[in-house]
């Protein structure tokens, strides 16, 4: 079965573990452990979504643009923008927070930074909050009140290992059930040690997803070249960003920058005119007409031919 990109690839999540209880006695809303990685089906190219963020010559975010201000190119060929959603529309967000044992000394400061980020979310937006260590827990569902989300984050306690890759896949699963503007925001302070999914699984999934991924990586260990390449690839291909912080005090600035980005995103959609080869990589370039503008957007996607 193939579906348009507006209803992306099948869920990779594994069995639920809803019986888990956090160390302070709080029962999470839901928990999941991602099962063994399976083949990811490339997205059908009949409709392609692209999230774009625009800055001016001084690096300031640009709002108020219209559909006619944008030009989209696939493999160098111009495409007609058939759907457009401005930066004022509602957003679907998933925020995933590392609660592994290595976070013990930083958990309180991290929770405060995340709560300040969540406080910027508008009433029209939907936010699901995940936490991850050995497993991935849903601690606040998308229909939770703002107060419930803040309490859930404040109750997090550090224990266990780090299943970062599983958290990425779980977040994408949740977001791709919904249309419109969406983004995945993750914080981690350690290299993945226990995920069923691999870095390669995550990269393949991001290549068929229209969801921007933002990563905040804490600590000098996150600057290791091999790991940094993975995080940069995940964020860059999706049209998101990766932030690297040496001190917990820098987290608030990173989350603030992400909040500004999300508040300024545009969503474009088009139906490709070219014929795509099965599994081919299609490059995407987005430009803004007129004044000098820099655009950060999804770099491309892996696709199958329409009707293939």
- pLDDT above 60: residue 156: yes
Question: What are 190-207's pLDDT values in tens digits?
Answer: 889 899 999 999 999 999
Nearest Cα neighbor of 216 from 257, 175, 265 is: 257
Mean pLDDT on 18-31: 40
Nearest to 299 by CA among 285, 288, 278: 285
The DSSP result for 73-130, as a single string, is EETTEEE---EEE-TTS-EEEEEEEE-SGGGTTTHHHHHHHHHHHHHT--TT-EEEEE
- Beta bridge pairs of residue 98: 132
Sign of CA dihedral 131, 132, 133, 137: positive
For residue 221, name the pLDDT band (cuts at 50, 70, 90): low
Confidence tier at 222 by pLDDT (50, 70, 90): confident
Residue with tokens 């709560």: 115
Q: Which residue has the higher pLDDT, 5 or 150?
A: 150
pLDDT of 64 over the 70 cut? yes
Average pLDDT score over residue span 46-50: 90
220 — pLDDT class (breaks 50, 70, 90): low
For residue 34, what are its two tokens?
């991602």
Question: Which domains occur in the chain, in start order?
Answer: 43-86+265-292 (no CATH), 88-263 (3.40.50.410)
| pLDDT-above-70 percentage for the chain | 83
In angstroms, rounded to a whole number, what is the distance separating the alpha carbons of residues 100 and 22? 12
For the CA atoms of 88, 92, 266, 274, the dihedral, rounded to the nearest 10 degrees, stands at: -150
- Model pTM score: 0.83
pLDDT in tens, 229-265: 889 999 999 999 999 988 888 898 999 999 999 999 9
Mean pLDDT (whole number) for 21-41: 41
């Amino acid at each position: 079965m193939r579906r348009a990109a507006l209803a992306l690839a099948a869920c990779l999540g594994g069995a639920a573990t809803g019986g888990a209880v956090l160390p302070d006695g709080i029962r999470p809303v839901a928990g999941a452990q991602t099962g063994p990685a399976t083949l990811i089906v490339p997205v059908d190219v009949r409709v392609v979504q692209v999230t774009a963020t625009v800055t001016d010559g001084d690096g300031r975010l640009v709002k108020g643009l219209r559909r006619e201000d944008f030009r989209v190119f696939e493999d160098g060929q111009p495409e007609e923008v058939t759907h457009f959603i401005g930066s004022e529309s509602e957003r679907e967000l998933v925020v995933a927070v590392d609660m592994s044992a290595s976070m013990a000394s930083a958990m309180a400061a991290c929770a405060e930074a995340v709560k300040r980020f969540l406080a910027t979310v508008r009433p029209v937006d939907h936010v699901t909050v995940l936490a991850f260590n050995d497993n991935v827990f849903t601690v606040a569902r998308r229909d939770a009140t703002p107060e419930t989300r803040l309490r859930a984050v404040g109750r997090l306690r550090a224990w266990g290992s780090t299943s970062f890759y599983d958290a990425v896949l779980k977040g994408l699963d949740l977001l791709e059930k919904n249309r419109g503007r969406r983004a995945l925001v993750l914080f981690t302070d350690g290299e993945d040690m226990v995920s069923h999914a691999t870095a390669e699984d995550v990269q393949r999934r991001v290549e068929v997803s229209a969801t921007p991924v933002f990563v905040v990586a804490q600590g000098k260990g996150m600057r290791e070249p091999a790991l940094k390449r993975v995080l940069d690839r995940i964020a860059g291909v999706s049209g998101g960003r990766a932030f690297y912080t040496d001190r917990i005090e820098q987290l608030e600035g990173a989350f603030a920058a992400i909040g500004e980005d999300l508040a300024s995103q545009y969503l474009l959609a088009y139906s490709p005119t070219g014929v795509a080869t099965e599994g081919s990589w299609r490059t995407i370039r987005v430009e803004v007409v007129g004044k000098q503008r820099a655009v950060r957007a999804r770099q491309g996607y892996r696709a199958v031919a329409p009707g293939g």
